[in-house]
Amino acid sequence: MKNRLLSALPSEDKALIAPYLSTVDLEKGRLLYDPGDRIDQVYFPNDCVISLMTLMESGAAIESATIGREGALGLMAAVAPRQSLSRAIIQAPGSALRIAAGPLHDIWSRSAALRDLVDRHNEALFGHAIQSVACNALHAVEARFCRWLLSCHDRIDTNTVNLTQEFLADMLGVQRTTVTAVAGSLQNKGLIRYRRGVVDILDRPGIEAMTCECYGAVRRGYERLLPASFEQT
């Protein structure tokens, strides 16, 4: 089981959930939820990456958090019926385990381990989101671009990230020309190779040296609350 959150459950609790899980393949750009949508399905990523986007009335958007195999999308619906607060869209394609919110709530009511895991995950995700608010307001685009690359890299099994300029611009809340300039600068430093729609990570330590403090702060938050979040398989 690639999803770290489900893997952290005791075997007896995994056995309660397993009959209700199905594997789904999620293509890049697929919309899972928009703000106000009822959360009727909860997704546990295996190797896909989900972006939570905050939308403005003007149509502008910016990423507020990233969810990969360390977590789940819509997990608060295990506690009670919920509506989505963000747009949830597939950033990097892959598979996820999916469960209907109703059965998950029933299991949550019977499983102390699941209740504890839901609480810790939601605290970690909240910390991620509020750190992103500060980062987007205070840090340079180049540092935020590096933070975003590292966050994505933590959640996939390859050094290649397939992204369009438009998608990157939405993630960072900038113009596409800014994305081109920043990616070109990192490529000139030998940290990445950037071609249309594809970013190859060549020098992760170099990218870590250029990112802002927010990458480490978010990662430490997950590792404190969910210690197996970024263990290598």
pLDDT band at 207 (very low <50, low <70, confident <90, very high): very high
**pLDDT at residue 57, as a whole number:** 84
pLDDT value, residue 195: 84
Q: Pairing between strand 160-162 and 61-67?
A: unpaired
In this structure, are residues 64 and 130 in contact, taking their beta carbons and an 8 Å threshold?
no
* Contact residues for 24 (Cβ-Cβ < 8 A; gap 6+): 43, 95, 96, 97, 98
What is the DSSP secondary structure assignment for residue 83, as one 8-state letter?
B
Q: Which of 18, 40, 17, 41 is nearest to 110 (CA)?
A: 17
pLDDT at 228: 82
Among residues 194, 40, 23, 221, the alpha carbon closest in space to that of 121 is found at 221
Tens of pLDDT, residue by residue over 152-169, are: 999 988 899 887 778 788
- pLDDT per residue over 6-50, tens digit each? 999 999 999 999 999 999 999 999 999 999 999 999 999 999 999
* pLDDT tens sequence across 107-136: 999 999 999 999 999 999 999 999 998 998
Distance from C-alpha of 91 to C-alpha of 151, rounded to nearest angstrom: 12
Res 137: pLDDT: 87
**What's residue 47's pLDDT?**
92
Position 176 scores a pLDDT of 83
In the predicted structure, residue 233 carries a pLDDT above the cut 60? no
CATH number of 140-211: 1.10.10.10
Query: What integer pLDDT is reported at residue 38 of this predicted model?
Result: 97
CA dihedral 49, 141, 189, 148 (to 10 degrees): -10
Q: pLDDT by residue (tens digit) across 85-94?
A: 999 999 999 9
Residue 232 confidence (pLDDT): 60
Whether the Cβ atoms of residue 100 and residue 108 lie closer than 8 Å to each other: no
3-state secondary structure 57-74: CCCCEEEEEEECCCCCEC
Contact predicate 48/93, CB 8 Å: yes
Q: pLDDT tens for residues 51-91?
A: 999 888 887 788 889 999 999 999 999 999 999 999 999 99
Q: What share of the chain is helix, strand, coil (3-state, %, to 5)?
A: 45, 25, 30
Instruction: Kindly give the residue spans of alpha helices, DSSP state H, lying in 96-164.
Output: 101-110, 112-138, 141-153
Mean pLDDT of 218-223: 94
What is the domain partition of the chain in residue ranges? 4-136, 140-211
Under DSSP, is residue 194 helix (H, G, I), strand (E, B) or coil?
Answer: strand
Q: List C-alpha distances in Å: 49 to 38, 148, 173, 185.
A: 21, 12, 18, 25
- The Cα–Cα gap between 215 and 68 comes to 15
| pTM, entire model | 0.92
Average pLDDT, the chain: 92
Which CATH number applies to 4-136?
Answer: 2.60.120.10
